[in-house]
Amino acid sequence: MGWKVENPDSSDREYDICLSFAGEQRSYVSEVAGELSRLGIRVFYDEDEKARLWGKDLYEHLSWVYRKSAKYCILFASDEHAEKVWTTHERRAAQARAMSESQEYILPVIFDDSEVPGLLPSVGFLDARKTTASEVADLAAKKLGPIVRKSYLPPTPDLLFKMLKLKSEGDQKRCVRVAESLLGSLKRATVDERRLVGYVFTMACAEGSLTNPHVNLDLMRRDIGIPGPEITSAISGMSSLGFFSQLKRHSFEGGGEEALYLEWHDMSVYKNAKLSSFATKSSTKVAAGMFQTALEHYCEDHLVSIIERLDFSALSSSHVHRH
Q: Is the entire prediction scored with pTM above 0.75?
A: no
pLDDT digits (tens, 9 = 90+) for 212-244: 999 999 999 999 999 999 999 999 999 999 999
pLDDT digits (tens, 9 = 90+) for 14-54: 899 999 999 999 999 999 999 998 887 889 999 989 888 88
**Mean pLDDT of all residues in 102-114:** 90
Report d(CA 201, CA 239) in Å as an integer: 16
Q: What is the topology classification, in CATH, of domain 15-144?
A: Rossmann fold (3.40.50)
Cβ atoms of residues 155 and 37 within 8 Å? yes
Report d(CA 312, CA 298) in Å as an integer: 11
Report d(CA 175, CA 283) in Å as an integer: 9
Task: Give the strand order in the sheet containing 126-127.
Answer: 43-44, 15-20, 70-77, 106-110, 126-127
**Mean pLDDT of all residues in 289-317:** 85
Domain with CATH 3.40.50.10140 in the chain: 15-144
| β 214-216/126-127 pair status | unpaired
